[in-house]
Each structure stands twice: as structure tokens, then as C-alpha cells.
Amino acid sequence: MNYKIAVIPGDGIGPEVTREAVKVLDAVAKKFGHTFEYNYLLAGGAAIDEKGKCLPEETVKAAKDSDAVLLGAVGGPKWDNLPGEERPEKALLGLRKALGLFANLRPAIMFDELKGACPLKEEKVEGGLDILVVRELTGGIYFGERGVKDTDDMGKAAYDVEMYSEKEVERVAEIAFSMAMKRNKKVTSVDKANVLESSRLWRKTTAKVAEKYPEVSLENFYVDNAAMQLVYNPKQFDVIVTSNIFGDILSDEASMITGSIGMLPSASLAEGEFGMYEPVHGSAPDIAGTGKANPMAAVLSAAMMLKYTFGLSEESDAIENAVKKVLGEGYRTPDIMTEGKTLITTSEAGTLIADRI
Ligand code: NAD
């Protein structure tokens, strides 16, 4: 099969880790007889330097014309003094909106080989961890009405509105339940239905979607309890589905449990099969150009792309297994280095993984 992939390397370590992800994809193509056609596009600081804006129209158009997008990271000190609207990070919001990416998937997987990096007691994570956080990405308080107004006696007041429609909740819940069907068949929906009207609609709508998936069990947690349970008993979770703001916070908490940020992939999905895949980390300007970046988050993002957009589960598993093998053989980039292990560079990590496909 022939697949068209838009590659947006971005800034800082973005191009370095993306290069390794492409190296691994090439190894997959060779082994399984696929053709991956890469279309390299500009976004972020690199686009500002070359085209004068962080998200040129041609990037959006070409991304839409592709089957999936693989992104590195954007941003860096060089562009930090630009006004908000012109900053490289704005390109991410622009891409999410233009591509209709309404669901963000962040797996928090703890590789047994790296359990030393987990900040929780060993008995809490015995046997490893595999949680998938599904966060609504284009609605809720981050996109609601906002404003500042004067009050009679309390000075200025500012507000941001949290609003969700049934359709918005339904489509993200559908994703969570269909993911759970391929996993351990459990969905935890997180809200604040004891206080918020929008959460009560969220809960009702999620329950309705659950009726279509009798094999999947649904439980509802208030967000404060979910935050607590994630560190108290993280193994109870399979798929967590939640709103934009709660997901923003809980997905960071869940991923910290697993240790290094250099290991965490993510996917943002649109209606249908289309998706944008990127590591959770940023452009890490402090280590850019030194060969110290861990490319595994980018490589695992490419694995997610194969599974969720292209439906190539076997190929995706081959990448995950190759990463585990490299870790099992004791190879480590500096961010996950421990005593007695073999230190490797960004490019060596990519080559070792590609060789094990
Ligand atoms: P960051 O994720 O870039 O870095 C945080 C820390 O983690 C740094 O010490 C860095 O060296 C380390 N780190 C990150 N990725 C690593 C990897 N693959 N291997 C080894 N170490 C790694 O976050 P930050 O420092 O807050 O942000 C730096 C820039 O990135 C900023 O301009 C920010 O706006 C941008 N950013 C972009 C994205 C994105 O493109 N999706 C996300 C977050 C931050």
C-alpha cells in the first residue's frame, strides 16, 4: 500500500527526532512491503523564518491532502518575544482547528525496563502500566466565550465559559469506547457532575454512547477523585475520557507516572481515519543539536499513526517491540540513563530501533 505522510519537523529537537521516526518508518516499509511518501512541510519558528508566519496556507493545504501528519515540535527562545498571535506554538492550535482534530489520545505506558523512572512506589505499578487518556480537544472552556467586565463593587471580573454540546461529547466518547474495545474494555469518564451543568450533560451523553458497547464497562469519576486515584491506584485505569481542561491536567499527571517525557507519544484524531501524530514533549532548545534528544516519543508516535490512521497493527506492534528490545538490551539516551547501561545518541537510538524491526 502507498501512504502519503505530511512531515512537519518544526524547531529545536523536532527535526532531530522526526528524522529518526522516518528512519524507523522506512525500515517498516521495507519489511512489510509498503510505500510511505513523505511531504516535508513548514510550521512553527522554521516557517516564521522562511515564510513570515507560523502556519503558512500551503502547509495546511498539503496537510489536508495527506493521509496523516507526523509532527516534531515547535517553538524556541528565538521567537519568544513575538506577540502571542505570531508565536510558533500558535501553529499547533491552527493545525488542530484546520484539520478538525477533536480527540487527543495520550497513552501513558510504563515500560518494565524503565520502571526505575516511575516516581510511585514499586508495588503501585508492579507488572507495568498502560493507560490511555482520551481528551476532548476543540471544545469546552479553552474555546468558549470569554471576557472581562466591570462590576459595581468588586473591581474587574473575568470569565471563561465551559460549554459542551451532545455531539461534541458523543464523538469523543465514541473514540474512547472503540479504543476500549481493542484494549481492556473499561472506560472511566471524568467530570465534575456534582457541580457543573456541562458535566451533567457530559455524563448523560457518555452513558448513552455506552449502551452501544455492552462489553465495555463504564464508570464515572469526579475529576478530584480521578487525580487522586491516578497516583493511589493507577493500575485500575484502562481508558480515561474527559473534557479539554480536565484532560489537559490529567494527561500530564498520567504521563509523569511513567517517567521520562522523551518516551511519550500522542495522537490527535479527526472524524474518519485522519490524524496528527507527535511526541508530547516540546522542542527542548536546551539540548537541540547535541545528539542528546530521545527520539522514542517520536518513533512511538509514528507507531500510533500506523495503528490508528493506517490500520496497520502488526507494523505498529513491530515498532513498539523494537523499542522494547533496544531498552531491554540496555541502550539509553541521556534522559533515561542509569548506571550500567549503554549511552547512545539520538541517531544511534533510531538506527538501533530500525535494525530491530
Ligand atoms: P520541553 O518538552 O521542550 O522540554 C522540557 C525538558 O524536557 C527539557 O529539559 C528538555 O531538555 C527535556 N526533553 C524534552 N524532550 C526531550 C527528549 N525527547 N529527550 C530528552 N529530553 C527531552 O518543554 P519546554 O522547555 O517547556 O518548552 C520548550 C519549547 O517547546 C517552548 O518554546 C515551548 O513553547 C515549546 N513546546 C512545544 C510543544 C509542541 O510543539 N507540541 C509542546 C510543549 C512545548
Quote the cell numbers at residue 17. 527526532
Query: Grid coordinates 476500549 are at which residue?
Result: 180
Ligand 1, residue 74: give the atom nearest the CA.
40
At the topology level of CATH, where does 119-257 sit?
A: Isopropylmalate Dehydrogenase (3.40.718)
pLDDT(123) > 90 = no
Q: Give the separation between CA 318 and CA 357, rounded to whole angstroms.
A: 6
Instruction: Judge if the beta carbon of residue 350 lies within 6 A of ligand 1.
Output: no
Q: Write the pLDDT tens digit of every residue in 40-87.
A: 999 999 999 999 999 999 999 999 999 999 999 999 999 999 987 889
Give the mean pLDDT of the chain. 95
Average pLDDT over residues 262-289: 95
Report the range of poorest mean pLDDT among 67-76, 88-97, 207-216, 252-261: 252-261
Q: How far is CA 99 from CA 137, 190, 242, 268, in A?
A: 12, 26, 21, 10
Q: Where in the chain is the domain with CATH 3.40.718.10?
A: 1-109+261-357, 119-257
**pLDDT score at 103:** 97
Quote the cell numbers at residue 8. 512537519
Q: How far is CA 331 from CA 112, 159, 257, 325, 344, in A?
A: 14, 50, 21, 9, 6
Q: What is the DSSP letter of 357?
A: -
Beta bridge partners of 189: 220, 241
Query: Grid coordinates 493521509 are at which residue?
Result: 67
Q: Is 224 an active-site residue?
A: yes
Q: What is the DSSP letter of 65?
A: T
What CATH number labels 1-109+261-357? 3.40.718.10
- For CA atoms 171, 176, 180, 182, the dihedral sign is positive
**pLDDT score at 260:** 76
Instruction: Judge if the beta carbon of residue 89 lies within 6 A of ligand 1.
Output: yes
